[in-house]
Amino acid sequence: MSQTSHDRLLIIDFGSQVTQLIARRLRELKVYCEIHPYQNVTAETLREFAPKAVIFSGGPDSVVREGSPRPPKEVYDLGVPILGICYGQQVMMQDLGGMVEAGESHTAEFGRAYVQPTEERIDLLNGWFLEGSGREQVWMSHGDHVSKLAPGFKVYGTSPGAPFAITADLERRFYAVQFHPEVHHTPNGATLYENFVKDAGFSGDWTMAAYREEMIAAIREQVGDAHVICGLSGGVDSSVTAILLHEAIGEQLTCVFVDHGLLRLNEAEEVVTMFRDHYNINLIHADESDLFLGELEGVSDPEVKRKTIGRLFIDVFQKYAGEIENATFLAQGTLYPDVIESVSFSGGPSVTIKSHHNVGGLPEKMGLKLVEPLRELFKDEVRALGTELGLPASFIGRHPFPGPGLAIRCPGEITRDKLEILRKADAVYIDQIRKHGLYDEIWQAFAAILPMRTVGVMGDGRTYDYALALRAVTSVDGMTADYYPFSHDFLGETSTRIINEVRGVNRVFYDCTSKPPGTIELE
Ligand code: XMP
């Protein structure tokens, strides 16, 4: 568990698909919280964590089933407010003397439902039921339902399928709801969380300014006078990690920027200038493009490309890092969603669609200890921390860029000529997007060079040049995506500009595939 000294809220995870959203809603309220799978929560961890409030998440199991997930019973004796959601509500009722009925009956509810208040209003529902209709839309997803309340509880909201949609024992400050207030489809859900944490006495002390100060102190304590190596990719996570470490330990940090020759136009120079000149960080620019492009020669299989790049990356990083005297630590920009994923009990094995660029095995291989100053943060919090550390908004808002770089935007064989064309075309495309004020509306946009030439006519002559694909998607997390609906004017103007300004391209396609069935990158 973390060392954070803020007021802390504990989310006990029973395996809901949307537990992370509970944490998001709370962090938005400047409340520090952690998600822990129920099996890891014991009486001792409760004592150690000392939460100011607890939330039980939803979950796929049935409390009626023998051996179904439960929290340690000591949680009810902590004297702090508890909020149970869906399965969490049923757990609370079952544990405290109520009754739950299994789902076959007619009361299962999935999707949108409307909750009506009962006569008595409670603080948890401040700001609710104010609209003309006097009801609130909520999102339900339950088979089982509570059929008898535990002693001390009363009903404060009902829906057609859930007579006990909102329940509470005001004396003990235990609250239990059947729906999911954390999801988008419960439009007023954030207010319910706000009321809950207010009742629990949270002061909203989780700010990025406070986090920055605390993390700097924590890094100094962890690292002492040892040396730290940090791999820099030019992306937001590794950049924020590097700058935070530099603030904490200055000269004891050396960054290694592995340039595989698959970066965008001017990208390597920009990274080096920013970190070396602007931030004055010790930086090794490992220009190994000859090595990478040499090994990739003749390779067109996407997985072989990815694996080759991954393997060389580790070798190169190791070579340069090995030259740094008395390096003891490796800094990584691991984020909280990665931490949750690795302890999650519900994450089963899934099919490998693409071998992602991953340097997870490096620390053991090199005998290094890890410093991970972002491991308590979500992506948007990293951006806020980056702003706090003075990174320019244009840098923080950059679209994601994959570890294997342009290699996966060049289906078929990779050649220096093709990369050159791709870099120029991509720069024109992104310039167009910026000029039309669309950059921030789009989650990711890039050009890809297709493994084919087509015939064209320019001037009075025949051309036989490369075709280019343009991709732009909207997304929240990259897991699913939709193509961006550019206007025909925009597409026409961009195509003309690319063909006029970039030699070697005579045709432009726009990729209108969503994900699924496509992936965002072409390989
Ligand atoms: P796909 O193509 O799988 O991409 O739909 C989803 C998101 O992940 C990025 N991506 C990668 N990022 N290493 C990375 O750091 C990789 O190997 C990698 N492959 C894909 C992709 O750019 C998109 O944002």
- Cβ 519 under 6 angstroms from ligand 1: yes
CA of 402 relative to ligand 1 center, distance in Å:
5
Parallel, antiparallel or unpaired: strands 162-169 and 174-177 = antiparallel
Q: Select from 165, 200, 235 the last residue of a domain.
A: 200
Compute the distance between CA of residue 396 and CA of residue 383 in angstroms, rounded to an integer: 6
CATH code for the domain of 497: 3.30.300.10
Q: Is the CB of 355 under 6 A from ligand 1?
A: no
- Pick from 354, 426, 474, 514 the residue to mutate for probing ligand 1's pocket: most ligand atoms within 8 Å of its CB: 354
356, 444, 484: residue to mutate for ligand 1 pocket, most atoms within 8 A of CB: 356
Greater confidence (316 vs 145) lies with 316
Residue 328 and residue 221 share a domain: yes
Residue nearest to atom 12 of ligand 1 (CA): 402
| Residue-wise pLDDT tens digits, 74-118 | 999 999 999 999 999 999 999 999 999 887 656 677 788 999 999
Q: What is the mean pLDDT of residues 154-166?
A: 93
Report the pLDDT value the prediction gives residue 107, as an integer from 0 to 100: 64
Most confident of 340-354, 367-381, 450-464: 450-464
In a domain, 523, yes or no: no
Residue 361: pLDDT over 80: no
Residue 344 lies inside a defined structural domain of this protein: yes
Domain-embedded: residue 406: no
What's the pTM? 0.78
| 354 touches ligand 1 (CB under 6 Å) | yes
Which structural domain range is residue 463 located in? Answer: 415-510
> What pLDDT, in 10s, does the model give residues 441-489?
999 999 999 999 999 999 899 999 999 999 999 998 788 899 999 999 9
* One domain, residues 440 and 381: no
333 is in an annotated binding site: no
Ligand 1 geometric centre to CA of 341 (Å): 17
Instruction: Judge whether 305 lies within some domain.
Output: yes
For residues 428 and 318, state if they share a domain. no
pLDDT for residue 349 = 40
Is 72 near ligand 1, meaning CB less than 6 Å away?
no
Cα–Cα dist 83/89, whole Å:
8
The protein residue with its alpha carbon nearest to ligand 1, atom 22, reads 402
Which among 206, 209, 219, 210 has a CA at the least distance from the CA of 373?
A: 219
Asked whether residue 331 falls in the same domain as residue 443, the answer is: no
404 Cβ inside 6 Å of ligand 1: yes
Whole-number pLDDT of residue 346: 41
Question: H-type helices in 183-235, by residue range?
Answer: 189-199, 208-223
For the chain, count helices (H), then strands (E): 15, 20
Determine if residue 234 is labeled as part of a ligand binding site. Answer: yes
Ligand 1: centre distance to CA 393 (Å): 22
Cross-strand partners of 8:
32
Residue 522 falls within a domain, yes or no? no
From 26, 33, 421, select the one nearest 192 (Cα to Cα): 26
What is the reported pLDDT for 347? 41
Q: Note whether residue 132 is domain-resident.
A: yes
Which of the listed residues 155, 184, 200 is the one where a domain comes to its end? 200
Q: What's 134's domain CATH number?
A: 3.40.50.880
Q: What pLDDT score was predicted for residue 4? A: 61
Confidence of residue 228 (pLDDT cuts 50, 70, 90): very high
Q: Does ligand 1 come within 6 angstroms of the Cβ of 478? A: yes
Residue 301: which CATH number?
3.40.50.620
Atom of ligand 1 nearest to the CA of 399: 24
Residues 448 and 363 reside in one and the same domain: no
Q: 59-73, 235-249, 278-292, 362-376: which has the minimum mean pLDDT? A: 362-376
517, part of any domain: no
Which residue's CA is the nearest one to ligand 1's atom 4? 520
Asked if residue 2 has pLDDT above 60, the reply is no
317/458 same-domain check = no
CA distance 330 to 230: 6
Whether residue 459 sits in one domain with residue 314: no
In the prediction, which pLDDT does 423 show?
98
Average per-residue pLDDT for the chain: 92
Instruction: Tell me how far CA of residue 164 lies from CA of 21, 107, 141, in angstroms.
Output: 23, 11, 14
Taking residues 373-385, report their average pLDDT.
90
Same domain, 342 and 422: no
Tell which atom from ligand 1 comes closest to the C-alpha of 481: 5
Q: Which pLDDT band holds residue 341 (cuts at 50, 70, 90)?
A: low
Cβ–Cβ < 8 Å for 62, 146: no
194 CA to centre of ligand 1 in angstroms:
35
Q: Is the CB of 84 under 6 A from ligand 1?
A: no
Is the pLDDT at 280 greater than 90, yes or no?
Answer: yes
Q: Clarify whether residues 356 and 269 are in a common domain.
A: yes
Query: What number is the average pLDDT over the span 259-264?
Result: 97
**Residue 444 Cβ contacting ligand 1 at under 6 Å:** yes
Q: Convert the pLDDT of each residue in 384-417 to its tens digit.
A: 999 999 999 989 999 999 999 999 999 999 999 9
Q: Is 310 annotated as a binding residue?
A: no
Which range of 1-10, 282-291, 336-345 scores highest in mean pLDDT? It is 282-291
82, 72 Cβ separation under 8 angstroms: no
Alpha-carbon distance of 13 to 382, in angstroms, equals 24
* CB 520 less than 6 A from any atom of ligand 1: yes
| pLDDT for 354 beyond 80 | no
Query: Does residue 515 lie within any of the structural domains?
Result: no
C-beta of 233 in contact with ligand 1 (< 6 A): no
Q: Among 168, 200, 232, which residue terminates a domain?
A: 200
Centre of ligand 1 to C-alpha 405, Å, is 9
- pLDDT given for residue 265 in this prediction: 97
What's the token pair of residue 397? 């808002």
Q: What total number of domains does the chain contain?
A: 3
Q: Ligand 1 centroid to 162 CA: how many Å?
A: 42
Does one domain contain both 56 and 174? yes
CA–CA distances in Å: residue 383 to residues 237, 241, 249, 380: 8, 11, 21, 5
If you take atom 7 of ligand 1, which residue's CA is the nearest one? 478
Tell me, yes or no, whether 245 and 286 share the same domain. Answer: yes
First to last CA, the chain: 38
pLDDT of residue 363 exceeding 90:
no
To the question of whether residue 236 is assigned a binding role by annotation, the answer is: yes
pLDDT at residue 339 in the model: 75
Do the annotations mark residue 237 as ligand-binding? Answer: yes
**Per-residue pLDDT at 79:** 97
Q: What is the pLDDT of residues 5-47, one digit of tens each?
A: 789 999 999 998 888 889 989 999 999 999 999 999 999 999 9
pLDDT tens digits, 288-331: 999 999 999 999 999 999 999 999 999 999 999 889 988 999 99
DSSP 195-206: HHHHHTT-----
* CA 173 / ligand 1 centre spacing (Å): 44
Q: Which among 293, 402, 411 is positioned nearest to 358, based on CA atoms?
A: 402
Residue 421 DSSP SS3: helix
**What pLDDT was estimated at residue 345?**
44
Q: What is the DSSP string of 37-79?
A: EGGG--HHHHHHH--SEEEE---SS-TTSTT-----GGGGGS-
Is the distance from CB of 258 to CB of 286 less than 8 angstroms? Answer: yes
Residues 247 and 285 in one domain: yes
Question: How confident is the model at residue 348, as a pLDDT?
Answer: 36
Catalytic residue numbers read 86, 180, 182
